[in-house]
């Protein structure tokens, strides 16, 4: 099963992708996490990606597409995967489609999680992310057991550099201009499923599992 998560930054894509990954034993592939791991390790790719991420802009397709295609070619992706944060624009979606088409394959479900812009800022300000395993929390909605510490791996939780208010506003503009058109793209392919992301995360998850079952 090949699944794409759609929705604004902060809609809950990573939160749901993580739960889907555990239930269906599919790898959760987040291009944002791949970039952040590269930034942490000080790679050339990380340095280049950071200059765009800090401004809330998309990392250029030439960098992003290759990384994603290499990742989905790995052994653990044979039975499928969950893409979180890719594709982010129509050209990325077209490349993915073409590559899958060469293998006689396709995306099975595009899960669109809808949350109004006015709720997004509050979510992002409260988000805390683990720098090691990528797990995310929210200081009010999804608090870790011990403040500032990841429940899963025990490492430190941080406020992401790009989760500051001005950057979040830029990211929302980029989302509306470049990413939102993907909703129609996948609707036309007949694989779009839309969910109300303002509901409790477990309720959203239950609804998602009902359509994936």
User: 157 pairs with which residues across the strands?
Assistant: 130
Closest CB to ligand AMP among residues 61, 151: 61
The CA distance from 191 to 202, in Å, is: 22
If binding is defined by CB under 6 A, does position 2 make contact with ligand AMP? Answer: no
Task: Give strand ranges (E) for 48-191.
Answer: 81-84, 109-114, 127-130, 136-138, 157-158
If binding is defined by CB under 6 A, does position 67 make contact with ligand AMP? Answer: no
Residues 75-114 as x/- pattern, contact with ligand AMP by CB under 6 A:
----------xx-x---x----------------------
What's the Cα-to-Cα distance from 31 to each of 5, 82, 210, rounded to whole Å? 12, 11, 26
Angle at 32 between CA 30 and CA 36, to 5 degrees: 120
If binding is defined by CB under 6 A, does position 13 make contact with ligand ADP? Answer: yes
29-37, 101-109, 148-156, 189-197 -> range binding ligand AMP (CB under 6 A): 29-37
If binding is defined by CB under 6 A, does position 52 make contact with ligand AMP? Answer: yes
Is position 171 annotated as part of the catalytic site? Answer: yes
Residues 118-157 as x/- pattern, contact with ligand AMP by CB under 6 A:
----------------------------------------
Contact (Cβ atoms closer than 8 angstroms) between residue 171 and residue 56: yes
Contact (Cβ atoms closer than 8 angstroms) between residue 41 and residue 131: no
Longest dimension (CA), the chain: 48
The active-site residue out of 2, 36, 123, 127 is 127
Minimum CB distance to ligand AMP, residue 210 (Å): 25
Q: How far, rounded to the nearest angstrom, does the alpha carbon of residue 196 sit from its chain's CA centroid?
A: 17
Helices (H), 54-164: 61-72, 90-102, 117-126
Residues 132-151 as x/- pattern, contact with ligand ADP by CB under 6 A:
----xxx--xx---------
Is position 123 annotated as part of the catalytic site? Answer: no
If binding is defined by CB under 6 A, does position 9 make contact with ligand AMP? Answer: yes
The CA distance from 106 to 87, in Å, is: 14
Closest CB to ligand AMP among residues 82, 213: 82
Q: Interface residues for ligand AMP in 157-186 (CB under 6 A)?
A: 162, 171
Minimum CB distance to ligand ADP, residue 75 (Å): 25
């Amino acid at each position: 099963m090949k699944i794409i998560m759609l929705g604004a930054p902060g809609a809950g894509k990573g939160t749901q992708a993580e739960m889907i990954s555990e239930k269906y034993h599919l790898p959760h592939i987040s291009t944002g996490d791949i970039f952040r791991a590269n930034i942490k390790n000080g790679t050339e790719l990380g340095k280049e990606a950071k200059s765009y991420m800090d401004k809330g802009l998309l990392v250029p397709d030439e960098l992003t597409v290759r990384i994603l295609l290499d990742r989905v070619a790995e052994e653990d992706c044979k039975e499928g995967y969950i893409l979180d944060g890719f594709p982010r624009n129509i050209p990325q979606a077209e490349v993915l489609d073409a590559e899958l088409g060469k293998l006689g394959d396709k995306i099975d479900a595009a899960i669109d999680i809808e949350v109004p812009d006015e709720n997004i800022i509050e979510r992002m300000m409260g988000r805390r992310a683990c720098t090691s395993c990528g797990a995310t929390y929210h200081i009010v909605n999804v608090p870790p057991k011990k403040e500032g510490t990841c429940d899963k791996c025990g490492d430190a939780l941080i406020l992401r550099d790009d989760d500051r208010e001005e950057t979040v506003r830029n990211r929302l503009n980029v989302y509306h201009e470049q990413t939102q058109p993907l909703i129609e793209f996948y609707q036309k392919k007949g694989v779009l499923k839309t969910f109300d992301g303002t509901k409790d995360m477990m309720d959203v998850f239950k609804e998602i599992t009902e359509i994936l079952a």
